[in-house]
Structure formats: C-alpha cells, structure tokens
Structure 1
Amino acid sequence: MNFLCPFHLDKNSSFSLKNNKYYCYGCKLKGKLKFENIKMNKFEFYFNKEILLKAKIFLIKKKNFWLNYLYIRNIDFKTLFHYNLGCIDIHLKTKNNIYFVKNKLIFPIIDEFGLLCGIGLKTNNFKSKYINIYKKNFDNKNVIYGINECFDRYYTIVVEGYFDLLTLYKNNIYNATSILGCNINYKKILKLLLKYNNIYFCFDGDLAGYISVLKIKKIKQKYNIKNLNCINLPLGDDPDSYINKYGVENFLKFIDI
C-alpha cells in the first residue's frame, strides 16, 4: 500500500507500508512498526511523540476500523495527516485502570506554542464518545484545539467538536478552531481575542449550544466586545452535519462571513 509520506511534504504517494514495515522512496526513511502490551502508572506515555507518530502510521494500515470510519465521515487523507490523527493496537492502563487507548482514534492536542499538551480519544462507546487527557499542570479549561494551525489573524471560526474542525479543513476553511465542547468562559474568549481580530462562534443546534450562545452574548455586552459574533445552527445540526448536507458555501453564508 502506498500513501503520502507523513514525514515530509509528499505529492507522489512515496510512502510504502507492507507487513508492518514502512519505507519512503522520497525521504528514504524506513522502519518497522512494533507494538506491545504496555502498562504505565502515569500519563507521560501518552505524550511520547514517537508513539503518536507510530499511531499516525498505524491508522493507515489496511482494514483499520478507524480509517474506514473516517472515510464514512468524509474525512480525507490530507486532513487526517494534517492533524496527525492516529490509533494504536496496544492496551495502556493508568494507575486506576480507567483510561484505555487501544483501538481508539487519537487526536493530538497542540497548544498555541506548538507544544503537545494532551490527546483526545474517540471511542465507539456511545455512552462516552470522547475522552480528553491533558498533561499535568496544564490548564485544560482554556484549551483550544487547532489554534496552532490557525494562522489567519483576521478571523477564526470557533466550533465545538473535533469533526467540526476536520470537516472545515477538508473543505479548505483553514482558519477554524475548536473549544472541544460548549463550555465557554471569559478567559477562553480573551485568549482568542488576543490572537484574532474577529471571532465567529458557531454552536450546535441543541440546548447546550443555545445556553452557550446566551452566555457569550452576556460577556459581549458586559465587556462591550464588538468583534465577537455567535450563532446557533438549526435544530439538530452541527457544522460537520450542516456542511455535509448543504455545502461549505451555505455554511459560511449562514454564519454571515
């Protein structure tokens, strides 16, 4: 199987993966994927960049469940490589045996300084769809996913979820970020305002989204923030579903950009 190489800017699908061995005909990097059952008492293993790189490679293996899932969700290779998505067929345990990374989709969370500060895990358990794990002493209340990749200072579109952001990027909207939920506060808004001239919050069409919009409007009025905009999508929609149904141009019109 040949893919675009994850180790350098590749346009020719130079990356070959066969029998757990990989080789790039472009940058000449080669190696073997080796995964073992590992048990650790701390989260440091989660933040090993070598492991996350292996996870990125493992994701593109043939017959991988999550690769098929991403295909069904209309997420292309360009997008999954850009955000370094991955998965690992190993079983990690914490001290309390609570968190498991085996067979989960991994989203590395990078801060505005380009430092790895946590990971998001997507499960196939509907009772707990996502698990976010952060480094010790990191202020996870103010995390903004994708802020390291959003370079347009003029504005940013702020969404709730991982897939909302991935879908925007896939549709060539590169100036989007995600707050990973609908929990919003003044510090998080200030963090965005310090980096972007205009903020466009786009929340899901559900009760939690409506409450968040009301909260932002109160903050906007209290501090007289003119370049802060917020809107809810129609009932039952999120940016991912709305764009897949109506297209990205209609999405941009709806949020008035």
Structure 2
Amino acid sequence: MIDNITYNDFVNKVHSSSDIIKVISAYVPLKKRGHNYWGCCPFHQEKTPSFSVVPDEGFFYCFGCHTGGNVFKFLSLVENISYGDAIKLQAERLNIPIPQKKKSDREIEHENNIKNLYRIHEMAQAFFHNCLTKTSYGKPGLLYLKKRGINNDIINLFHLGFAPPGWDKLSSAFIKRGINENLLLQVGLIVKKKTSGYYDRFRERIIIPIKDEKGRTVGFGARLIKDGQPKYLNSPETLLFNKRNLLFGLNESKKYIRQYDYAIIVEGYMDAIALASHNIANSVASLGTAFTAEQCKKILRYTSNIYFCYDGDSAGQNATLRALSIARGQHAAVKVILLPDGSKDPDEFLQKHDAAAFNKLIDNAVSFIDFHLHYIMQNIDYTSLEGKLKAVSFILPILSSIDNLVESNAYAVKVSQTLGIDETDLRNELQKYRKHSNQSSAPSNFQISQTINSAGDSAAIKAGRHIITRIWQEPDVLDYILATTPINEFENKQHREILTFLTEQIHNNNFINDITASEKLSDDSYTELSRCLVEKKNTNESKLLDDYLKIIHRAHLEKSYLEHSLRADELERSGDDRFQQELIKIQRIRKEMDGVK
C-alpha cells in the first residue's frame, strides 16, 4: 500500500529530475533574455511573447492571460489532464516507476468493469468489421461505401463495419461466447424489450467505431443505407461514451493537426471520413452535437487554429455561430470554411468535387467577423430600415469584442459598406454599445470609491509581490515583516492567502517549494505566486524592504480612511450622532498617515 511519505518522495524525485525549460521547450520555443526565458504563450493567441519561465525558481507565468505555475501545472494545462496525471506523465517520460496504491475491492471491481467495457467494444468492432469485409451480409454495405468513394484503405483506417440484418445476430454470437447480457446493455449494443428478452440496437447499418484520443473504441455510430428513420443512430451515453468529450477521428488526425497547425471541425463522422478519403487528414467531427468547450480544449492541445465547416443549412449556420463563440472563449483563432450553394455538407461537396476544390475553400476561409456578415446577408433583409437596425444590433457585440484598434477600424469600414450604413453612425452606435457594456459590468459607486486611488493600489500590489518574493527566498525575514505589517493589512486577497501559507509552513518548519504551494494554495493564489516569482526577476527596483512595508501600511490606512469617511457621511445624512465617533477615528487615521512617509 502506498503511503503519503512514499508518494511525496516519488513526487519530489520526479520534480527534482524535471528541467522546466526542457519540458516547456518541447511545446513552446523559448529564448533567454536576462534571467528569464520568453516565448509566445501556448494558452492564448499572441504575437509578442509574454510567456516567461524562471528556471531557478521552477515557475512559469504569462503576463497576457495570467496563467502560471510549476512544471506539473504547465503539463496539466497543455495536455488537458489533471495535476496528478501530469506528475505521472512526467514520471513515465523520465522512466521513474510510479508507486502503486493498494486498491479497495470496490475500486478493483470498477476497474475490471471498465476493462470489460473496452474489451466488448473491441469485440463488437471486430464483429462489425468482419461482417462488412468477410461475409455476404456486408455486400450491401461495401457497395454503399464504394459508391461514396470510400476505398478499402479508409475502411481499414477507421475500422468501418456493417451490422447484419436480423434482431439478434450480435447478441446471440456474444452470449454464446460467454459475454454477460448486462455488459451488452451497459455499452448499448443491445436493447431490452418491453416484454422480455433483448434485440440488437444496430441492424442493416454501416457501423462507424468512435474512438477516444488514445484510439480505444468507446462507442459506435450507425448509418442507415436504405430509406427510413433515423438515418443516423449512435450508442447511448455510457461510462465510456460521452459526446461532449469526444471528437470523431482525433486519434488519427491529431498528428496531422499538429503538423499543419490547424484543425477542420465538421458536424458528422461521414464528413470527416469523406475528407480523409480525399487525403485531407486534419479533420475531426463533433458527432453532430453542439461544439463544446471540452472538445475545444482537446483541439488546443495540438493547434490554436480552428476552421469550422458545418452544414450549409440554417441549423448548421446557427451551430457555427455557437461554435465560434465557444472557440473564441477558449482563445482559439477561428475561421469558417463556406460551402457553395447547393452543397449541404462537406461529404456532399466532395461527392461532386475533388480535393483541390475543397482545398480552395480552405484557402478562402473567412474570418470570425466576415462569417457574421455572411450570416446577416443570408438571413436578414438589410435593405430595409428595420433590417439595418436588426443587422447593426447583431454585429455590434462582435465588433465590440475586437481588441485590436486597427482591426476594429477596418471591420467598421467593411460593415458600413456592406450594410449600406453611414460609417460615422456605425461608430457612434459602437461607442454607445461599448459604454453601455462597461457601465453594466462596472462596480457600484461604493466599490468605485474604495478603489479611487488606483495608483496607490497598484503600488501596494507591487510591494506585496516584492515582499512575498523576499520571504520565499529568505524565510528568516518573515517574523520581522509580520511584526511590522500584519497579514490583514495586505489588501490583495491572494497575497493574504500566500502569506498565511508561508507563515504556517515556516513556523512549522516545513519545506517551502512549488510542490507544497500547489497543494496548499487555491488556483488563483498559486498563479499569483507564480507571477511574484517570475516578475521579480524582471524588476530593477532598489527600494528596501522597509519601503515596501510602508507602502502596504499606507495603502491600508488610506482604505480605512476612505471607509470611515463614507461611513461618517452616511451617518450624518441620516441624523445619527455616531458620525462623531467616525470623525474621531478619521482624525486618528489621518495623523497616522502623516507619520508614514
């Protein structure tokens, strides 16, 4: 049985054996500048490097998206895995044995059940594939696939299969081989009858195995080859099959996505298969469901550039709008591949055209803004006054979301020309929209008053970072700092949490490093600690520790002064005599402030 000491020793061994520069350089090109290494952040779009690594402290921090942490935190983010799994991943890369925890009977039973579910999916995949390629049952399926231009190489690549006719071909074969009916029910291969007994879920359909990122079959899609409904049928949600977290074809396409540095997202698996059959190998399908943040994060592990090519109908366009919003929310660079009129989806387009024609569509993919303009032109009659107002209302939030001023101005010109709207009027409406949005998200008057001295707050935060870094590097200075400036005087919430953590660790004679910090601190505070240690290496400030402590103390007094002043005004207006007590407190604070120079 693994104990805490054994596990901590394991983590420390992996940590001490890990070179943070070497690990991060495998994902991000870094250049040394001063004490730090710099590169473009892998977690958001940028052209000027704001991602910094300090090797001697073992931390990274991005000054653009404010993401930070140690080597394990980086791996967990870039690989989209848990912190614990990041430690294990790095251990595997370093060939360090992972200590095994003794499992409970319940855990062993759960693991065995999961293994059985994977095994049944593999067996079912082989059953359907053999039925397609080696039996007379599969002839209609082969004919259908050949007609759609899907050759044997693609059939074998995706392990395509065919579900034979009849109600119990698969279930009878599997039960004879000793497979428990409950397991077949769990994975959705059979369905319980209303009376008694079972029947096969998939019959006389092309079978498309759906695999996870590691290439393990976790479910099936099925396409009817005759007239009837539903045309497509998927496995039900199971322990293994959750459409929100899966992208069809990612196990095969991920290497090409990374190689070409962009991914094509289509709706259905037949679209992705059609693209692959035309040697367009960097595509995945969102399984006909709405594109999710979980799916987006998987793509971002391989590229930050996403091209959407959903169906050309109204439902497909609306799905594209939602997908663009989700992808931009995850800091992806997005474009849209527009299908010409008459083509419902990529599969249908490629039945009429060759790969070169589709590659031209890729080359002509439109931007986020241009797709919204395209949507307006397709769905809104902007020739009328009512239509223009509707179009402007639709496009203003999109224009407002553009941070780059040059880009924003260029699109304002384009939108005004496209919609036939006076450019000055559009800019005025955009300015009003931005002002209204800022007011809607602004804090209350009291909150604004509390932060009236923004320069002081900024100085206090900088001072707090310097003090935290000083304690991290010289723990012996902690008692002097606390005797001079109590933790509650630090205005920043994360700074108070970090200082509390450092105090507990030092007073208990516990070791301080990025591992213990990651275990004890909240995510926000751990990120702020990363910034403190990374930012310190880039400052040339020569102020002494006492100067920073005075800044913290004065900022605390200024905040108290403001709070009591507001309280006194409120009490005086309401005729409450207690305002005089507040005035006495204000005078005392004012006197103390005068003494802090």
TM-score, structure 1 length as denominator? Answer: 0.73
Instruction: Determine whether 1:146 maps to 2:249.
Output: yes
How far apart are 1:134 and its partner, in Å?
Answer: 4.9
Structure 1 residue 128 and structure 2 residue 230: aligned?
Answer: yes
TM-superposed CA distance for 1:196, in Å, is: 2.4
Q: What one-letter code is carried by the residue in structure 1 that aligns with 2:334? A: L
Aligned length: 214
Change (3 A) 1:80 1:159: same
Matched, 1:104 2:212: no
Question: Kindly tell me: are residues 162 and 239 of structure 1, through their superposed partners in 2, closer, same or farther at Cα, counting changes over 3 Å?
Answer: same
Q: Post-superposition shift, 1:137?
A: 2.3
> CA 1:163/1:220 → structure 2, altered by over 3 Å: closer, same or farther?
closer
Deviates more, 1:72-81 or 1:182-191: 182-191
Letter in 1 for 2:252: E
Kindly tell me: are residues 66 and 212 of structure 1, through their superposed partners in 2, closer, same or farther at Cα, counting changes over 3 Å?
A: same
Is residue 137 from structure 1 mapped to residue 239 from structure 2 by the alignment? yes
Paired position in structure 2 for 1:233? 339
SS of the equivalent of 1:158 reads strand
Q: Distance in 2 between matches of 1:135 and 1:218?
A: 26
SS of 2:350's equivalent in the other structure is helix
> If each structure's strand is expressed as a fraction of its own residues, which one has the higher value?
1
Q: How many Å apart are 1:107 and its aligned residue? A: 1.0
Match of 2:129 in 1: 56
Task: Kindly provide the amino acid, as one letter, of the partner of residue 126 in structure 2.
Answer: L
Structure 1 residues 52 and 218, CA, compared in 2 at 3 Å: closer, same or farther?
Answer: closer
Q: Shift of residue 185 of structure 1? A: 2.3
**Contact 1:155/1:198, CA 8 A, preserved across alignment:** yes
Q: What's 2:269 paired with?
A: 162
Is contact 1:70-1:76 (8 Å) kept?
Answer: yes
Amino acid in the other structure paired with 1:205: G
For the residue of structure 2 that corresponds to 1:87, the secondary structure is strand
Q: Does the residue aligned with 2:288 lie in a helix, a strand or coil?
A: coil
Question: For 2:216 and 2:118, how far apart are their aligned partners in 1?
Answer: 15
Task: State the alpha-carbon separation in 2 of the partners of residues 157 and 51 from structure 1.
Answer: 29
TM-score with structure 2 setting the length? 0.33
Q: Aligned equivalents of 2:170 and 2:221: distance in 1?
A: 16
Partner letter of residue 209 of structure 2? P
Q: Which has the larger radius of gyration?
A: 2
Change (3 A) 1:45 1:116: closer
Specify the code of the residue in structure 1 equivalent to 2:337.
I
Query: What is the rounded CA distance, in whole Å, between the counterparts of 2:117 and 2:332 in structure 1?
Result: 42
Q: Which runs of structure 2 are paired with 1:188-207 in the superposition (5 Å)?
A: 188-207=295-314
Aligned-pair CA distance for 1:214: 1.3
CA distance in 2, matches of 1:212, 1:187: 16
Counterparts of 1:45 and 1:149, CA distance in 2: 19
SS at match of 1:94: strand
Alpha-carbon deviation of 1:85? 0.6
Pair 1:245-2:342 in alignment = no
Superposed displacement of residue 227, structure 1: 1.9
Provide the aligned C-alpha RMSD in A: 2.6
Could you say which residue in structure 2 is the equivalent of 1:94? Answer: 191
* Alignment CA distance shift 1:221-1:172 (3 Å): closer
Write 1 or 2 for the structure with the bigger share of helix. Answer: 2
Q: Report the secondary structure of 1:148's partner residue.
A: helix
Instruction: Return the alpha-carbon distance in structure 2 between the equivalents of residues 222 and 56 of structure 1.
Output: 40
Q: Does 1:211 align with 2:318?
A: yes
Of residues 191-200 and 226-235 in structure 1, the stretch that sits farther from structure 2 once superposed is 226-235
Segments of 5+ residues of structure 2 without an aligned counterpart are: 1-115, 172-189, 366-597
* Contact kept? 2:263, 2:305, Cα under 8 Å: yes
Q: Distance in 2 between matches of 1:220 and 1:54?
A: 38
Deviations 1:47-75 (A, max 9, x none): 34233213212212357111111111111
Shift of 1:88: 3.8
User: Contact 2:310–2:316 (CA<8 Å) still a contact in 1?
Assistant: yes
Find the aligned partners of 1:136 and 1:226 in 2 and give their Cα distance.
Answer: 30
Deviation at 1:198, TM superposition (A): 1.8
User: Aligned equivalents of 2:208 and 2:249: distance in 1?
Assistant: 10
Identity of aligned residues (%): 29
1:98 shift after superposition: 7.2
